[in-house]
Chains A and B, each alone.
Chain A
């Protein structure tokens, strides 16, 4: 059986290529049909904020890539509710509806469920 991998994405989308590169690992794993999960934690929850204007920064928008996750077979999507609350973000308004909001307590159990974890 294939080993499962959880990617924990902790960086805001406009703080450099970090968020995109974390997402690329997930998309590659999905393309190989591997059991892979993605958790947005800490500033990573900003990736899910709606109505971002990437053009203002002459960047490409990450949200289109995020929407593609279910198409790549990545359905284990999670967001830390505590991180969102600390940043004044409402998880019900997030651009990725599929992401399940978890408390810090749930996240401990989530990490335990995966064979390997990468935090970026």
Chain B
């Protein structure tokens, strides 16, 4: 089955951990993930600026490793990311900000990527919504 996964909660939320576990289980079960789309506070899961205490789960780091290892299409909504200060190098340059908080394997793009994934996937699975 082809899954699209949307994540709406911040990196420290339990639903964000569940999203990663679901994504890992989907691949382990032989399914395909057509795209991960991080929206609203979900953009924090792509931030390399998050510092997690040593004895706690570093979810942004785990997401980064997971997406890189499986060469997944990981998209962070650009409007949601700008609003929350999760900028990549290009956007930090565009808006003259000092902090670059997101880079490869993540791509900043628009909501069209969410709709595109919905059309492409058999199932859209959402985590961390209201």
Contacts and interface: CB of A to CB of B under 8 A. Distances in A.
B83, B118, B126, most chain A CB atoms within 10 A: B118
B129 A120 contact: yes
Contacts, number: 48
B80 interface: yes
Nearest to A2: B119
A54 interface: no
Contact of A24 (B8, B79, B123): B79
A88 interface: no
Interface in A91-120: 116-120
B118 A116 contact: yes
A25 B110 CA distance: 10
A5 B115 contact: yes
A116 B40 CA distance: 19
B130 A119 contact: yes
A63 interface: no
A116 B119 CA distance: 9
In the complex, which range does the number of interface residues on chain A fall in? Answer: 10 to 19
A3 B130 contact: no
A34 B119 contact: yes
A21 B82 CA distance: 13
B6 interface: yes
B111 A119 contact: no
Given A11-B130, A119-B130, A25 B114 contact: yes
B29 interface: no
A120 B79 CA distance: 16
Nearest to B124: A116
Given A17-B40, A18-B40, A120-B8, A29 B115 contact: yes
Interface in B94-129: 110-112, 114-115, 118-119, 123-124, 126, 129
Interface of A: 2-3, 5, 10-11, 17-18, 21, 24-25, 28-29, 32, 34, 116-120
Given A21-B39, A32-B112, A118-B124, 18 more contacts: A3-B118, A5-B118, A11-B130, A17-B83, A21-B40, A21-B79, A21-B80, A25-B111, A28-B110, A28-B111, A28-B112, A28-B115, A116-B124, A117-B124, A118-B126, A119-B130, A120-B8, A120-B40
Interface of B: 6, 8, 39-40, 79-80, 83, 110-112, 114-115, 118-119, 123-124, 126, 129-130
